[in-house]
Amino acid sequence: MKPRRITLVDLGLDSGFDASMTFVQGVLQNVNAGYEEPVIEIEFIRSRDMSTIREALSTPTDVLHVMAHGDHSEEPTFVSSDEKTQVSLPALANQMLDQGAGIAAPVVVADGCKTGIGVWQKAVRDCLQGPITYIGTSRLLYWHESTVFCSAFYGALTRNKGKGKGKAEQGMDAATRAIDAYVLITDKPSGFKAVTLTPSRRASKSLR
């Protein structure tokens, strides 16, 4: 069985995001325990270099998981804690459209505050090469809330053998299970939400 490829991109760049990323990597590495060959391949990127970030976001993978602060005061933007690194989605879309290579992952986790609201979804659609399961958030979140959700999400995803389901469908199923599990564990509503997104008209014309 071909291993799943999980790409983790840390754009938050502080101790809290580092702790959360370390936790997620630990969960994924535990999945490989007991297997002769890994069932999960982990690609971890932490960088301020925009070309490196753009390449990480457009390289084909099974799950693209981005951690950062979410800001939409002017336009949807991933922001580091010190605000020195900012990735504007409209600017990213323009660069991807010029290069003809957009987000190719069937499952995208935008792990930051309010990344699931409409303005974020609209901006993400301009970056897509095809339909995806998009997992964002509807409110302000603390990093420990993210670790609870991510533990349940990756646990559900890696136990899904995928029979009869595409990768985006598997991601939606895992996200739904993780949202339900979050409620059971914390007795509070989950701030995460999952939707199916398709490329915008301009993305469909330029990205393949």
Q: How many domains does the chain have?
A: 1
- Exposed, middle or buried by CB within 10 Å (0-12, 13-18, 19+), for 90? middle
pLDDT above 80 (res 207): no
Alpha-carbon gap, residue 192 to 10, rounded angstroms: 18
Cβ-contact 194, 176 below 8 angstroms: yes
Q: Mind listing the pLDDT tens digit for each residue in 65-100?
A: 999 999 988 899 999 999 999 999 999 999 999 988
Angle CA(54)–CA(61)–CA(144) in degrees, nearest 5?
Answer: 80
Return mean pLDDT, the chain. Answer: 92
Closest CA to 172 of 63, 24, 27: 63
Q: Mind listing the pLDDT tens digit for each residue in 143-170?
A: 788 989 999 999 999 886 656 789 999 9
Of 58-62, 97-101, 168-172, the least confident: 97-101
The per-residue pLDDT for 162 is 59
The per-residue pLDDT for 208 is 65
Residue 59's contacts (CB-CB under 8 Å, 6 or more residues apart) are 7, 43, 104
Which residues constitute the domain of residue 94? Answer: 4-206
pLDDT above 70 (res 39): yes
Residue 51 sits in a domain whose CATH number is 3.40.50.1460
pLDDT above 70 (res 128): yes
pLDDT above 90 (res 17): no
Number of helices and strands in the chain (H, E): 7, 9
Alpha-carbon gap, residue 33 to 22, rounded angstroms: 17
**Chain centroid to CA 186: how far?**
22
pLDDT above 90 (res 107): yes
Both tokens assigned to 204: 């469909």
